[in-house]
Structures are given as C-alpha cells and as structure tokens.
Structure 1
Amino acid sequence: MKKREVLASVKDEKLIEMRRDQIIKGAVNLFKDKGFHRTTTREIAKSAGIGFGTLYHYIRQKEDVLYLVCDKLYDQVHSLLEQGIDTKQGTIESLKQAMKIYFKVIDEMQDEVLILYQETKSLSKDALPYVLDKEIAMTNMFKSIIDSCVKNGELNLSEKESELIAHNITVSGEMWSFRRWGLQKRFAIDEFVALQLNIFIKAVTNPNDF
C-alpha cells in the first residue's frame, strides 16, 4: 500500500504537519456543507486561517486536500484502534472492546467519515486505490480479532463468515455518520454502541437464532 505523496515547497516537516492540520480542519466544514466540487481553494485557505498563496506551499491542487482528509481519518482511527485493542487476545470481550473504541472514534470524527462516503469518488485514480486499501486494512484489524476468537474456540465461524462480519462491523460504525440524519434522532451514541454490540455478539455466538 504505497502512500501517495503530496508535494510541499516548505521543508520544515513540523510546519507542514501543522499547516496541513489547519487546512484539513478548514476543509472539512466546507466539504460537509458545500461538497468538494463547489468548494474553492480560496475558501479553504480562508477557513484554515492562512493566505491563499500560502495554501499552495503545502498542496498543489484541491484534490490534495481531499486526499489529506481521507488519509488523516484512517491514520487516526487505525492508531486509536492499535493503542486500545489486542488483536491476538482471542476473546469475545476483546472483540467487544475493539468495537466500542471504533464506534466512539467514528462518533468523534463523524464529519470526516461523512466526507469520505460522499466524496471518495472525487479522488484521483492514483489516490483512490490507496484510500480504499486503508479501509480494507482497518477492516482486517477486526478480521484478525475474529480469527483469534475462532482459533481460541470462542467463536465457530467459517473464513468467509469471519470476513463478512469484519466488513459489517466497519460499515456499522461508519453508519453512525452517513445515516446520522435518522439514527441520531433516535439514539444517543452510548445506546447505539450498546445495541450494536448486543446484536453482533448474539449473531456471532448464536448464529442459529438468526
């Protein structure tokens, strides 16, 4: 999974990271409200609190900003999951803990997740495969936990069942963002997490009931 390089004319890595964080935060609100195509780079610079000319020291084109938003989202989610879960523990409790962390992270980053679903199609042909690979890598973390549970005798699932459940977990978390127009009118985040855990754990431990 080769990372797409976003060129900058500035050499200071810390400054690049700081400015790009500003750019990402400024762009997220604009992309959410106006969409990627109707947002201008001038508006992104203004929202980020930097000069229009300065913006182009850190990116080369508007599509770079969308790529940075997507890349940042996956990096943060992946990092938080790695810190909070043990993929080799092989217990139902470890699977539940991973799902709790994941759903809460999605709640904190729901605007970025929404943009990911709405605007991924706008990524360039060289950027899209990388972003999609990051999504698969995140799903594979859940697949590893499920596989460990199967190996440990906690679950009885086929390879394809384990893979599909991992995808279901990933999408169910992201659903909190892209279907928030309906879900967040009916559920608080803690209730949503609790119900999702209950449904998934019943499904994987008592498959004959479904």
Structure 2
Amino acid sequence: MPGGRRRPLRAQHRDDGALVGAQALGPARQIQSRRLPRGPTGVHLPSARRLRPGSELIEDGGDGAGVRVKPRASRQSTGPNGAARAPRRIVNKELLAERQDQLVAAATELFLRQGFHKTSIREIADAAGWHMGTLYLYIRQKEDVLYLITRAHMKKLTEDLWAMEPGGSARETLAAAMEFLFRAVDDQRRQVRLMYRESQSLRPEHLEELKDSELRDRELFVGLIEDGVAAGEFRRVDPHLVAHDILVMAHSWALKSWALLPHITLDAYIEQQKALVFWQLDPSPAAPTCG
C-alpha cells in the first residue's frame, strides 16, 4: 500500500482470545481467519466463541465432549443457610458421583504410599485411568481430591449411623451402634488413617466440615447414653466423655490394628470394648463412680 501502512497478513489475537485486525483483510483472508482462530491456550475456537471475563477453557479430556467454555465457579463454600457444600471448584458433580469411588480409591492408595505432598495430579489421573483433561472437569487442585476422600468416608458413616433402627432398650441400641461403628471403621481403616495423617492439608473450610461430621457422630452416642440414664439403665455419667471414648476406641482400631491383629480379632476387640463401656455405665451400687 503506497504511502501507508501495510495491511496485516493475518488476524491478531488479544489475550482474551478475540480477533483483532480482521477487518483489514480481504474476504478470503477473513474467512480463513474465522476458521482458525486460537484461544489464549492455543486451542482452536470458533470465531463466535470468545472468552468472556471470568470464563475459562475446558479442554477435551478424551471423553468425546470436545472443547468448551465454562464460567469460573464461585469460591463460596457454604449454602444460603450456612450448610456446608461441596467446593464450587468441583464441577459436573452428577458425573463425579458416578465415578467418585474410582477416583477416591486410586488417590487413597497413592496418598498412603507416597504421602499427599509427594503425589502429583498426573499420578492421580494415571492411577484412576483418566486423561488429565477429564480429571480437571471434576477438580481444580489436589486438595479437592483429599476433600473427596474425607467427604466420601464421613458422609456414608454418618448417614448409615443415624439411619439405624433403635433396639428394645437403651443398652441394646447403644451396643448395636457401637458394633456398627467399629465394623464401619474397620471397612475403611485405610481412609481413616489417611484422614488422621493428612487432615491438616485440607483447606480450612473443609477441615471444619470434617470436624463437624465427627461431632455429629458423637452427638448420636450422647443421645443414646442420655436415654439410658433417663430410663434408669445407665448410671449418671458425663455423656460427652463416654461418647468421645467410644469414637476413640473405634478410630484406634484403624490406627493401631497392625499391633493388635496378631493377638486379637475384630470380634473380640468389639466385645471387650463394649464390656468396658457398659462397666462404666453400670447403674448397680458396686459399679465404679465417674468424676
């Protein structure tokens, strides 16, 4: 172009992925530029699909879903009524629920063997048999995986514990609840050990959620003990302390079963721990006094 600036040979791209300078191109060049624009990460995007402020790319993880854009999730961790919710960074929660067991099992094994801080996101994806892009549909960072492990364990335990039917007496109900708790902890003792070892790596709001879940379990046993005291089946004790002792007994099996298994079975452990608790709750005059 004599006496003036030359037209650009191809469209330029701003940081937000939009095209600039395409108006200066001829019709054929404009068509070509619309076919091959690139987003900020080099991913080909249709020209009409421009990243809006606060949006991000989700790349094809090999699941056939293609490339798409999603709004950034809010960081709010509580609902409108103050109830804890799954972090908004974990997207596609319905699909995640279907494959959560696979992800939790793979990550639990890695975290126990290598430690949380020495395990990479790529190793988690490989162990689960997922592409990296697929994993990032569900989590944004490694702490989200640890949260999923703790939530999966505590949610199932709490829901099943509170769903138990009461027995014929306070003693029978407490005995059944203790047995259920001990066996549930035995089934997931690897997850319990992981929670104790790595809980400080959780984000603060998730650590508080974990504590609240354990306190809800304790409150169930507090209520059972108070019912027994009111019915005259148990002596008057500090129900919170006895309930705390029951949870510690259950968790100790997960943490120290390696030292006990050569000498005692799970069945024998449960029976002896129940006997110890009911000895403490015995209302007869010859029973030990507490406090």
TM score, norm. by length of structure 1:
0.90
Match of 1:68 among 148, 160, 174: 148
Choose 123-132 or 99-108, whichever is displaced more.
123-132
Aligned mates of 2:272, 2:90 — CA distance in 1: 49
Cα offsets for 1:20-79 (capped at 9, x unmatched): 222111111111112211111111112222112211101111001111111111111112
Q: Secondary structure at the match of 2:281?
A: helix
Asked if the contact 1:19–1:58 (Cα under 8 Å) also holds between the matched residues in 2, the reply is: no
Structure 1 residue 147 and structure 2 residue 226: aligned? yes
Using the alignment, how far apart are the partners of 1:113 and 1:4 within structure 2? 21
**Counterparts of 2:153 and 2:259 in 1: how far apart (Å)?**
23
Residue correspondence of structure 1 range 157-172 to structure 2 within 5 A = 157-158=236-237, 161-172=238-249
Structure 1: give runs of 5+ residues left out of the alignment.
Answer: none
Instruction: Note the residue ranges of structure 2 that are not aligned, 5 or more in a row.
Output: 1-81
Aligned to 2:159: 79
Match of 1:58 in 2: 138
Distance between the aligned counterparts of 1:9 and 1:77, measured in 2? 22
CA distance in 2, matches of 1:99, 1:148: 15
Q: What secondary structure sits across from 1:185 in the alignment? A: coil
Q: Distance in 2 between matches of 1:203 and 1:146?
A: 11
- The one-character-per-residue Cα deviations of 1:145-189 (angstroms, maximum 9, x if unpaired) are 11111111111224xx11000011011101111112212232211
Q: CA RMSD in A?
A: 2.1
The CA deviation at 1:86 is 2.7
- Paired letter, 1:2: A
Higher relative contact order (CA 8 A, sep 6+): 1
**Larger radius of gyration between Structure 1 and Structure 2:** 2
* One-letter amino acid matched to 1:5: A
Describe the shift of the 1:39–1:85 C-alpha distance in structure 2 as closer, same or farther (beyond 3 A): farther
- Helix, strand or coil for the counterpart of 2:254? helix
Shift of the 130–9 alpha-carbon distance from structure 1 to 2, 3 Å rule, reads closer
Please give the residue correspondences for 1:43-192 in structure 2 after superposition, counting only pairs within 5 Å.
43-86=123-166, 91-158=170-237, 161-192=238-269
More strand by share: 2
* Structure 1 residues 26 and 204: CA distance shift in structure 2, 3 A: same
Amino acid at match of 1:50: W
Confirm whether residue 202 of structure 1 aligns to residue 274 of structure 2: no
* CA positional deviation for 1:5: 2.6
Q: TM-score, normalised by structure 2?
A: 0.66
Q: How many residues align?
A: 206
Q: Which moved more, 1:17-26 or 1:53-62?
A: 17-26
Out of 36, 45, 63, which is 2:116 matched to? 36
- How far off is 1:19 after superposition? 2.3
Name the SS for the 1:32 alignment partner.
helix
Asked if 2 retains the 8 angstrom alpha-carbon contact of 1:4 and 1:127, the reply is no
What is the rounded CA distance, in whole Å, between the counterparts of 2:216 and 2:203 in structure 1? 20
CA contact (8 A) 2:96 2:138 kept: yes
- Match in the other structure for 1:6: 87
The CA distance in 2 between the partners of 1:92 and 1:106, in whole Å, is 21
Alpha-carbon distance in 2 for matches of 1:63, 1:95: 36
C-alpha separation in 2, matches of 1:65 and 1:51: 15
User: Deviations along 1:186-206, whole A, 9 cap, x unmatched?
Assistant: 221111111111111112213
Identity %: 32
Q: Which has a greater percent of helix?
A: 1
